[in-house]
A and B are shown apart, each in its own frame.
Chain A
Amino acid sequence: MIRWAPIGSSKLSIFMRELLLCPPDYYGIEYEINPWMSRARGAEAPLAQKQWKDLHATLSKLECKIHLITPQPKLPDMVFTANAGLTVGKKFIPSNFRHKERAGEAPHFARWMEEHGYEISWLPENLYFEGEGDALFGGDALFCGYKFRSDIQSHRAVADMLGCLVISVELVDPRFYHLDTCFCPLPDGAAVWFPAAFDEYGQRAIREHISDLIDVLPEEAVHFCSNAVVLDRDIVLPEGAPTLVAALRERGYRCHELPMSEFLKAGGACKCLVMFMPQRQAC
């Protein structure tokens, strides 16, 4: 099915939303690389499976084409495909993971994308970059988070590769270690965000580029309500954010709230489990 999908862009382009997901066959809390993770408080595998399947089913109903990559043993976080890389048009920029625990995911994703016809553009090895987790288009700019996972130097390299305006914003709250945990651009030019996750300059930079910002309450932010998959007027987000959902509905969005408790234990939710192929057709 083909339809108009002006996702977060003033430029219209004809394409069907394609998403990459990874079944949670090997998902579990096997190491601790963010404040949410605790090996003492592991994820319940059957419940995680159910929550992921619900997400898959919800997205399927929203008329997207879903691709699945084969999960790999000993790579429990491969389920969070948003961190695989950044796709623009037919170009895929694979991530350089900061933590060695996740570095093994990169070749699997790169190979899969290459096999599916994407041109692979590797970043220099010394620049950490965690893909769509830290790079989200909003308006005509690519917003990129840095410090906890991605390096700001990688943003410049991405800007060189894509030829687009990159707004680098510093993340300051380790709980919101990826940009997609605290910032979510919407197709009408607005964005959902949790301001306290950014430093003062990052907040100002975002405000200067996005005039219509929906602030998330701290108690809802910790449910990762900003970690939402936005498909035109449909928004798939974790449950636990009634205020945000009301605000989005007020704006005419259809909200699909899903339980994400088992993935929150690893510091992830709906958006972390999804990578857009591509996020934008072109800059």
Chain B
Amino acid sequence: MFSETIELRGHIIDSLILPKVLDQILTHGANFKIGEIKIGKKRADQSFARIEVSAETGEALDELVLRLRQHGAEVVERADAQLAKARATGVFPRDFYVTTNQQTFVRFDGKEIEVRPAMMDSAIAVDRKKRTARAVKFFDISAGDEIVVGHQGIRVVPVQRSTSGTDLFQFINTIVDADEPKSAVIRELGRELQRARNAKGKIAIVGGPAIVRTGAGEHLVRLIESRYVDRLFAGNAFAVYDVERALFGTSLGVNPDLAFARGGHENHLRAINTIRELGGIAAAVEKRILTRGIMHTCVIHKVDVVLTGSIRDEGPIPGVTTDVVEAQKIMREKLADVTHVLLLGTVQHSLAVASMLAPTVNTVCVDIDPSAVERAVEHQPLQSIGLVTDVEPFLRELADRIANRDDTVGADRKQ
């Protein structure tokens, strides 16, 4: 949101100028916050109001302020942000401003520039020539880059909770515990994802190996096939277990189709070796060695897959980014346009992704561990739903709901 502070003085109550200005702000789709108001005590006393006006775009705000000036509004000039040069590459100036994940604006040469992306725990680098403000991490900056210091000229716009109450994420906005019913929430989530897909939103899955190990992979495959997944963020183990399951029927030696069967603990190493030999998952699909499973479906349906490594990884398989700084950069880039994220059965990966999300991203966290759900949901307190449950029944029900709905939609269309 872009904003300006305006002041009104005079007989603004008797002339109904104050209500007129406030009404005009609202009818132009903008918002206001009254900062200060002083009402004249005697009949001839003038009144005063300071009002912060905010609009979606800078242009809309300029146009609105121009109108309001006609009714006597005066724009309050605000101070520019202070900048200091980074003295060394990878080191911010002292007193650098630390961002939140809320929408943030920097005032520079009397105009506000939006900081992009909205990313927490970053500094803000300002490019005077391009008139841009970037949220940057340590590794993003070079000596001499200009960084915002102090709090002057910074404006943070917290995400407003919807008052209409019709949006699933803003309406529910809570954690559904293990002993609470989940079907209604999952049904509504299915509707929301369908709306998102129709509105060309971007849906990302952050998946843990539990998806494969619990046998939920086939449900995720259905979601991918129905084009409900644009991005998949996972670790080496997720991909390896999925390939192992596809090649050998087991994941980490366990066959989810057999109640108590054990054995084949070496299968996952053989799976890694196969992929390494073939040069990667895509190559394995192309050579028809890998013919099913989540990774296979991602290749077929051209889902953007971001695989990142960890210390415990075996292999890793080709395509896994093991440089953590590089991995952070890629993840940020691939999360930039995401509108919906499902964090499924992975604590560390979920927290890493959640810390990179803009506050407007709708987030669902599913984990069997209540503390993992709580921690992930804390990052998105206004736009998140947490479900404490095993990921397999969740994905199964979601895929079923979506499959039924898509059938229904198709049937409707034929009539």
B-side interface mostly = loop
Interface string of B12-36 (1 = CB under 8 A from A): 0011110110000000000000000
Contact B14 A165 (CB under 8 A): yes
Contact A167 B71 (CB under 8 A): no
Contact A165 B43 (CB under 8 A): yes
State which of A155, A165, A201, A202 has its C-beta within 8 Å of the C-beta of B19: A201
- Near B by CB (< 8 A), chain A positions 138-174 give 140-141, 147, 152-153, 155-156, 159-160, 163-170
Contact A163 B44 (CB under 8 A): yes
A205 interface residue per 8 A CB criterion: yes
Most buried by B among A155, A163, A201, A204: A201
Contact A140 B9 (CB under 8 A): no
A209 interface residue per 8 A CB criterion: yes
Closest partner residue, chain A, to B40 (CB atom): A165
A283 partner residues in chain B, CB cutoff 8 A: 44
State which of B10, B19, B74 has its C-beta within 8 Å of the C-beta of A168: B10
A201-B14 in contact given A152-B72, A156-B9 (Cβ < 8 Å): no
B44 partner residues in chain A, CB cutoff 8 A: 159, 163-165, 283
B46 interface residue per 8 A CB criterion: yes
Contact B70 A205 (CB under 8 A): no
Interface string of A190-216 (1 = CB under 8 A from B): 000000000101101100110000000
B107 interface residue per 8 A CB criterion: no
Contact B72 A165 (CB under 8 A): no
Contact B10 A209 (CB under 8 A): no
Contact B11 A165 (CB under 8 A): yes
CA distance A147 to B15 in the complex (A): 14
A163 partner residues in chain B, CB cutoff 8 A: 44
Contact B16 A156 (CB under 8 A): no
CA distance A204 to B20 in the complex (A): 11
A170-B71 in contact given A155-B10, A165-B14 (Cβ < 8 Å): yes
B70 partner residues in chain A, CB cutoff 8 A: 147, 152
Contact B46 A168 (CB under 8 A): no
Q: Count chain B residues whose beta carbon lies closer than 8 angstroms to a beta carbon of A.
A: 16
- Near B by CB (< 8 A), chain A positions 263-283 give 283
State which of A140, A164, A205 has its C-beta within 8 Å of the C-beta of B15: A205
Contact B46 A159 (CB under 8 A): yes
CA distance A46 to B74 in the complex (A): 48
Contact B10 A167 (CB under 8 A): no
Q: How far is the CB of B18 from chain A (nearest CB, A)?
A: 10
A159-B19 in contact given A152-B70, A152-B71, A165-B43 (Cβ < 8 Å): no
Contact A201 B10 (CB under 8 A): no
CA distance A166 to B20 in the complex (A): 16
Closest partner residue, chain A, to B45 (CB atom): A165
Contact A153 B16 (CB under 8 A): no
Contact B9 A168 (CB under 8 A): no
A168-B72 in contact given A141-B14, A159-B10 (Cβ < 8 Å): yes
B46 partner residues in chain A, CB cutoff 8 A: 156, 159-160
CA distance A115 to B300 in the complex (A): 93
Interface string of A61-91 (1 = CB under 8 A from B): 0000000000000000000000000000000
Interface string of B39-63 (1 = CB under 8 A from A): 0000110100000000000000000
CA distance A224 to B263 in the complex (A): 101
CA distance A281 to B72 in the complex (A): 28
Contact A140 B71 (CB under 8 A): no
Closest partner residue, chain A, to B24 (CB atom): A201
Contact A166 B17 (CB under 8 A): no
Contact A153 B72 (CB under 8 A): yes
B9 partner residues in chain A, CB cutoff 8 A: 156
State which of B17, B72, B74 has its C-beta within 8 Å of the C-beta of A201: B17
CA distance A166 to B14 in the complex (A): 8
Q: How far is the CB of B22 from chain A (nearest CB, A)?
A: 11
Closest partner residue, chain A, to B16 (CB atom): A201
State which of B16, B43, B71, B74 has its C-beta within 8 Å of the C-beta of A205: B16
A156-B72 in contact given A164-B44, A165-B43, A201-B20 (Cβ < 8 Å): yes
Contact B10 A156 (CB under 8 A): yes
A152-B11 in contact given A159-B44, A164-B44 (Cβ < 8 Å): no
Closest partner residue, chain B, to A166 (CB atom): B11
Q: How far is the CB of B165 from chain A (nearest CB, A)?
A: 31
CA distance A153 to B8 in the complex (A): 10
Contact A205 B14 (CB under 8 A): yes
Q: How far is the CB of A147 from chain B (nearest CB, A)?
A: 7
Closest partner residue, chain B, to A147 (CB atom): B70
CA distance A153 to B69 in the complex (A): 9
B43 partner residues in chain A, CB cutoff 8 A: 140, 165
CA distance A141 to B13 in the complex (A): 13
Q: How far is the CB of B21 from chain A (nearest CB, A)?
A: 10
A165 partner residues in chain B, CB cutoff 8 A: 11, 14, 43-44
CA distance A97 to B396 in the complex (A): 75
Contact A159 B11 (CB under 8 A): yes
Contact A167 B14 (CB under 8 A): yes
Closest partner residue, chain A, to B11 (CB atom): A166
Q: How far is the CB of A153 from chain B (nearest CB, A)?
A: 6
Q: How far is the CB of B45 from chain A (nearest CB, A)?
A: 9
Closest partner residue, chain B, to A283 (CB atom): B44
Contact A204 B14 (CB under 8 A): no
Top 10 closest pairs, chain A to chain B, by CB: A156-B10, A152-B72, A168-B15, A201-B16, A201-B20, A205-B16, A165-B44, A167-B15, A166-B11, A205-B15
Chain B residues with CB under 8 Å of chain A are: 9-11, 14-17, 19-20, 43-44, 46, 70-72, 74
Interface pairs (19), CB distance under 8 Å: A140-B43, A147-B70, A152-B17, A152-B70, A155-B11, A155-B72, A156-B10, A159-B46, A165-B43, A166-B15, A167-B11, A167-B14, A168-B11, A168-B15, A168-B17, A168-B72, A201-B16, A201-B19, A208-B16
- 16 further interface pairs, Cβ-Cβ under 8 Å (given A156-B10, A159-B44, A202-B16): A147-B70, A152-B17, A152-B70, A152-B72, A153-B72, A155-B10, A156-B72, A165-B11, A165-B14, A166-B15, A167-B15, A168-B11, A168-B15, A199-B20, A201-B17, A205-B14
